[in-house]
């Protein structure tokens, strides 16, 4: 009897706080652009859509629920994808600001950063000199003195709100200590299995993007959580597809999208989130694996279902 092929969950991070609008004309900013990009990514094969919002006039990251309300209903209506709302927002926001949209809309999944860290974006200033908005340059420059605050109290607060709404979490782990922080909350009964662990590589302030770094994260997660987690790989910038390939060979799911990388190949900007999802499909199918559907992801992650969200 033929063995069923493994199904890989593709998460697409459609837009976010890491990159600024001037760096790529293809980064969606307005609610209509975000909805169009998310729907196209879902049609290309993304089972989960990780969503931030932008002020449509300035391009600044925003956690205003009113802005999310301008694109979430359309995405839900036109796709079956799992909606995953950020609680990260931007390192420049307070935790209270960051929690607002997930509190209001009660999504199936919300992201959760698992520890405080330095968050250095300023090296981008060496590669980009022209900016549409002055806040973009300041945003990058100020990251020289930026700590992305995610204390134990912050994490506990977000977990309690999510648990009350039966929202599961994409646990974003930027370093080994974040896995141990997650294990702490599992031991306390606040983080519930099966865990969805997003291992983040290549951001200044977190773990590096060497293959040994990937292996170290995998070994540590295996030791701490055994079979009680689903693993996913997020490689920032040029690390996106090389690390996705390595992770796929070791049993991971993968995350792509213009939040994490603006590129599709060296020196070539991605034209859309869907382009990156399609490239991820090629990697997956080239390894004789299948792409998971949204309902596959719901089953594996034990999600509550799209009919239980407040969108």
What is the pLDDT, as a whole number, of residue 149?
Answer: 95
What residues are paired with 233 via a beta bridge? 199, 254
User: Which domains are present in the chain?
Assistant: 7-303 (3.20.20.70)
Distance CA 276, CA 255 (A): 10
* 162-208: pLDDT as tens digits: 999 999 999 999 999 999 999 999 999 999 999 999 999 999 999 99
Instruction: Using DSSP, state whether 240 is helix, strand or coil.
Output: helix
Confidence of residue 2 (pLDDT cuts 50, 70, 90): low
For the chain, give me the number of helices (H) and strands (E)? Answer: 11, 16
Distance CA 148, CA 95 (A): 10
Could you give the angle at the alpha carbon of 162 between the alpha carbons of 112 and 100, nearest 5°? Answer: 75
Confidence of residue 91 (pLDDT cuts 50, 70, 90): confident
In the block, residue with structure tokens 């609680």: 87
For residue 212, give every residue at least 6 positions away whose Cβ sits within 8 Å of its Cβ, in sequence order, or none: none
Measured CA distances, 137 to 23, 27, 130, 145, 265 (Å): 11, 17, 9, 14, 25
Token reading at 20: 């600024």
Distance CA 130, CA 22 (A): 8
* 144-171: pLDDT as tens digits: 999 999 999 999 999 999 999 999 999 9
Residue 24: pLDDT above 70?
yes
pTM reported for the whole predicted model? 0.96
Positive or negative CA dihedral for 238, 243, 248, 253?
negative
Length in residues, the chain: 311
Average pLDDT of the segment spanning 110-124:
95
Residue 1: pLDDT above 60?
no
Could you give the angle at the alpha carbon of 196 between the alpha carbons of 192 and 198, nearest 5°? Answer: 135
Q: Could you tell me where the DSSP H helices lie in 142-288? A: 152-164, 176-187, 211-225, 240-249, 273-286
Nearest to 150 by CA among 122, 183, 174, 169: 174
* 233-271: pLDDT as tens digits: 999 999 999 999 999 999 999 999 999 999 999 999 999
């Amino acid at each position: 009897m033929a063995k069923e092929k493994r199904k890989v969950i593709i998460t697409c991070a459609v837009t976010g706080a890491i990159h600024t609008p001037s760096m790529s004309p293809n980064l969606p900013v307005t609610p209509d652009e975000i909805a169009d990009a998310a729907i196209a990514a879902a049609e290309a094969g993304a089972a989960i859509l990780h969503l931030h919002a932008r002020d449509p006039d300035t391009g600044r990251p925003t956690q205003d629920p009113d802005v999310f309300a301008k694109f979430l209903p359309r995405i839900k209506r036109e796709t079956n994808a799992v909606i995953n709302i950020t609680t990260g927002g931007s390192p420049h926001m307070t935790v209270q600001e960051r929690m607002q949209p997930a509190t209001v809309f009660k999504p199936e999944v919300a992201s959760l950063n698992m520890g405080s860290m330095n968050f250095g974006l300023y090296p981008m200033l060496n590669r980009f000199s022209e900016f549409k908005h002055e806040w973009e340059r300041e945003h990058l420059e100020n990251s020289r003195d930026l700590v992305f605050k995610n204390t134990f109290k912050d994490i506990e607060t977000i977990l309690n709100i999510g648990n009350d709404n039966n929202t599961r979490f994409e646990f974003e782990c930027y370093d080994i200590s974040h896995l141990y922080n997650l294990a702490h909350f599992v031991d306390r009964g606040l983080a519930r299995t099966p865990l969805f662990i997003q291992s983040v590589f290549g951001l200044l302030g977190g773990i590096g993007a060497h293959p040994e770094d990937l292996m170290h994260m995998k070994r540590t997660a295996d030791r701490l959580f055994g079979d009680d987690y689903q693993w996913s790989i997020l490689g920032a910038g040029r690390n996106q597809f090389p690390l996705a390939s390595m992770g796929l060979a070791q049993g991971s799911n993968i995350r792509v999208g213009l939040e994490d990388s603006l590129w599709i190949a060296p020196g070539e900007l991605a034209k859309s989130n869907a382009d990156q999802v399609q490239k991820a499909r090629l990697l997956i199918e080239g390894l004789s694996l299948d792409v998971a559907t949204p309902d596959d992801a719901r089953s594996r992650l034990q999600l509550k279902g799209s009919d239980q969200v407040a969108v």
